[in-house]
Structure 1
Amino acid sequence: MNLNIKLIISVCFTLLVGITLAFNSSSSVQAEPANGKKDAGEPVEPDMHEFMEYVFQPTYKRLKQAMAAEPADRSAWKTIKADSLILAEGGNLLLLHDPEKKRKEWDAHSIEVRKAGGLLYKSAKAKDFKAAQLHYQSMLKNCNACHQQFAGGKHQLKP
């Protein structure tokens, strides 16, 4: 067989294998689970007290200390940014939890925590302490409203 024909056949075969592999890879990434639902998040710790104690409480305590006075250096701003981002994303995690009742109110509080925490994070990125204080207060006010409604008024946070 001619060398050129062998080369053409070899190139065509390589292209065919490559296209087949690419198609199989992309279709497997887009495949839906067998039950037809997208894989949703689910709480690792379903007990809300445990979740709050180990996710929110240490973060809140660090943030409270960091927000006591205007940050003097980059490291102090970094603490505020890190903890506000954790609390903002914590609002998303709260949405994964299922309260025994009042789901709409639970979701509304969770979204407000996410929103205020996100604004606090953005204020810290901009090194705007006045705005950061405003959003910190807003976030705590919402946390306390949620605790009032869902924890019988226990665990009220102070700035």
Structure 2
Amino acid sequence: MRNLHHKQFVGSVALLGLAIALIWSQSTPTLAGSDAKKTQAGVPVEPDMHEFMEYVFQPTYKRLKQAIAAEPDNRKVWKAIKSDALILAEGGNLLLLHDPQNDRSSWNEYSQDVRKEGGLLYKAAKSKDFKTARKHYVAMLKNCNACHQKFADGEHQLTP
């Protein structure tokens, strides 16, 4: 009788182990599956950071700098500020797809701060709150400049 219970116990443990392995293998992709998922989840179209910045961030920053230089007096300017703020905020997400040569942790932090400050700028622009929008615009640029200091040898400093 004891031998039967032992066999049932071992069989139950083996079955439990098999179930755990099956669940784990389905929820944790293999390396090939992970690469396939990454390809679907997001890969930079332009891996060169200089090119990416020049064609995504630079034109957006230049438009936004002009639009937010003074308090907007019409819907059209507020709409332009909202658009560029949202592009820059989402650009923070795109930055997370890029791999820096070193210090991934700092890269992620700067990228998330661009997303955060750009998002807050966008929300302030939606509310037509110029003072708050300007505050988040300046905070975003401060973050951009800190990132440029760390990853671009201090080049490409932005002015509000």
What is the TM-score normalised by the length of structure 1? 0.78
The 5-angstrom pairing of residues 124-135 of structure 1 reads 124-135=125-136
Note the 1:6-155 alignment, pairs <5 A: 35-37=32-34, 38=37, 39-155=40-156
For 2:42, the aligned partner's letter is G
4+ residue runs over 4 A deviation: none
Kindly provide the amino acid, as one letter, of the partner of residue 36 in structure 1.
G
How many Å separate the matches in 2 of 1:72 and 1:124?
12
User: How many Å apart are 1:33 and its aligned residue?
Assistant: 10
| Correspondence for 1:21 | none
AA at the equivalent of 1:71: P
Give CA deviations for 1:101-140 in whole Å, capped at 9, x if unaligned.
0000000000000000000000000000000010001000
What's the RMSD between the two structures over aligned residues?
1.5
**Paired amino acid for 2:103:** K
Q: 1:136, 1:34 → 2: CA distance?
A: 40
Unaligned 5+ runs, structure 2: 1-28
CA positional deviation for 1:35: 3.7
SS in 1 for 2:138: helix
Check if 1:156 corresponds to 2:153. no
Offset of residue 51 of structure 1? 0.2
Q: 1:71 to 1:33 in 2, by over 3 A?
A: farther
Task: Give the structure with the larger helix fraction.
Answer: 2
Tell me how far apart the structure 2 counterparts of residues 117 and 105 of structure 1 sit (CA, whole Å): 18
- Give the TM-score, by structure 2 length: 0.77
Q: Work out the percentage of aligned pairs sharing the same amino acid.
A: 71
